Amino acid sequence: MIYRQYGQTGKNVSVIGLGGMRFGEDEDYAVEIIKKAHELGINYFDTAPYYCGDRSEYIYGKAFEQIKDNFYTATKSGIFNEPTADDVRRRIDKSLKRLGIDKIDFYHMWCIMDLAQYDNVMAPNGPYEGALKAKNEGLIDHLVFSTHCKGEDIRKIIEDKVFEGVLLGYNVINHPFRQEGINAAIEQDMAVVTMNPLGGGLIPNSHEYFDFLKERDDETVSQAALRFNIAQPGVTVTLAGISTLEELYENVKTLDYPVTVSDEKKIEIQSKITKKMDTLCTTCGYCLKCPKKIKINRYLEAYNMTLLKDADEMKKHLTFLKTEGALKSESVGAKDCISCGKCEILCTQKIPIVKRLQEISEMNF
C-alpha cells in the first residue's frame, strides 16, 4: 500500500480508501470486505448516514469491533437533514455510537452543491457551528467538506480556510471540469479525497469504450481508471466503493505497478474527453425520491449509452433492463414523469433529468 499525508494534519492515509456506499445486503460479508481491506493496508474508511439503506455506519461499527486500531474514519452530515447546529450535534452522537468509536477523524459538511448552500452551512447556529463545537469537545479531529460544486466555487470555499480537506467527484471522465478545485487545494496544501473514480460503475460497465485507458495488456479498465486518479498531483486518497472481495483485490492490485500516466496516454485521454461527458449519470440514486417512484437512475444509466455511443445502444440497454434487468417488474416508467423537478434539485451531477426522461418516453419506454 502507498500512503500520503492528509494535508497538514500529520495523518498518513492509504491512497486507496474504502467507500461505504455500495455494500450489499449481506452485512457479514460486508464486514469481511472491510477487515480484508484493512489487512491489505487500506486505513481510510468513508461512510455516511443513509448509505446502504442507512446500514453503512452500522456495518463499519461491526468491523471496527474486530479491527480495533490503525484506521481512520470519515463520515458526514448534510444540511438537507441536519440544518442546525443542534441537529448536527445529535447526528455526531448517533454516528459515534453506530461506528463504535470515541472520535471521528474526518467529519464532512456533506454534499455542498453551490455557494448559497455553503453560506447556509456556515451561518450562525448552522451545521458548521455544531460540528466545530463537537471538534472543540474532542469528538472530531478534522473538519472537512464534500462537494459537487463547479471548480471556481470549490476554490472560493477552500480559500476561506475553514476546512482541512475536500471530498469531490473526480475521474478520468470529468477531470477537466473539476480541475480548478484540485488546483486550489494544492495551493492551500489541503488534502483531496476523490470519489466516483469509476464513475459510479459507468467506466467498468462500458469497458469496451474505455479500453483506451489501459497502458498494459494485463490491466483492467477499472485499474486504469483508479491509476489515473491516484496519479494526479494533489490527490491524497481515491475512494472506491466496493461490493465484493474480488473488486477489492482488483483495486489493490492496481498498486503492483507504478501509479503514473504516460505523456502519450494523457494526450490520448484529452482527445477523447468531451464536454458532454460531464453530464454522465453516476447512478448514485440521490434522485430516487421521485413522487411517482420512477427508478430514474436506471433510465439515466441507459441514457449514458447515447452520450458514449448512440441512441440505438440506449434502446438496447433499456430493452434489457425492461425484460431482464432492474426495470423488469416496474409498473411505472419514464412516461409517468410529471416534470416536478424534485430529482433535478437532488442531482449531484446537475443533469437535465426531466428532459432526458421525456426523450426516453418518446421512445415508448
Amino acid letter, 268: E
- Which residue's C-alpha cell is 409517468? 336
Amino acid letter, 127: P
Domain encompassing residue 267: 3-272
Kindly report, residue by residue over 295-349, the tens digit of the pLDDT: 999 999 889 888 888 888 889 889 999 888 889 889 898 899 999 999 998 888 7
Query: The domain that contains 125 carries what CATH number?
Result: 3.20.20.100
Cα–Cα distances (Å) from 339 to 351, 356, 358, in that order, read 14, 11, 9
Kindly report, residue by residue over 43-65, the tens digit of the pLDDT: 999 999 999 999 999 999 999 99
**Higher pLDDT residue, 175 or 224?**
224
Q: Which of 272, 290, 315 is the last residue of a domain?
A: 272
Q: Which of 243, 272, 301 is the last residue of a domain?
A: 272
**Strand 72-77 vs strand 44-46: parallel, antiparallel, or unpaired?**
parallel
Q: CB within 8 A of 353, min separation 6: which ones?
A: 287, 296, 300, 343, 344, 347
Amino acid letter, 13: V
Q: Which of 272, 300, 320 is the last residue of a domain?
A: 272
Q: Which residues of 130-162 are buried (b: 16+ CB within 10 A; e: fewer)?
A: bbbbbbeeebbbbbbbbbbbbbebbbebbeeee
Residue 204 parent element (H or E): helix 202-205
What does the pLDDT read at residue 365? Answer: 82
What does the pLDDT read at residue 281? Answer: 87
Question: Same domain, yes or no, for 102 and 202?
Answer: yes
Question: Same domain, yes or no, for 93 and 228?
Answer: yes
Question: Same domain, yes or no, for 14 and 159?
Answer: yes
pLDDT class for 273, splitting at 50, 70, 90?
A: confident
Question: Same domain, yes or no, for 305 and 210?
Answer: no
Question: Same domain, yes or no, for 115 and 213?
Answer: yes
pLDDT class for 199, splitting at 50, 70, 90?
A: confident
Question: Same domain, yes or no, for 145 and 179?
Answer: yes
φ, ψ of residue 27 in degrees (nearest 5): -70, -35
Question: Same domain, yes or no, for 288 and 266?
Answer: no
Question: Same domain, yes or no, for 327 and 181?
Answer: no
What does the pLDDT read at residue 308? Answer: 81
The three three-digit cell numbers of residue 48, written as one number: 455516511
Question: Same domain, yes or no, for 68 and 195?
Answer: yes
Question: Same domain, yes or no, for 353 and 228?
Answer: no
**Higher pLDDT residue, 128 or 321?**
128
Q: Side-chain half-sphere of 182: how many Cα atoms within 13 Å?
A: 21
Question: Same domain, yes or no, for 41 and 177?
Answer: yes
CB 259 within 8 A of CB 231: yes
What does the pLDDT read at residue 95? Answer: 98
> By C-alpha distance, which of 203, 219, 159, 207 is closest to 185?
159
Return the minimum-mean-pLDDT range out of 181-195, 214-228, 268-282, 344-358: 268-282
Number of domains observed in the structure of the chain: 2
In sequence order, what are the beta bridge partners of 167? 146, 193
Tell whether the model's pLDDT for residue 275 goes beyond 80: no
Question: Same domain, yes or no, for 252 and 290?
Answer: no
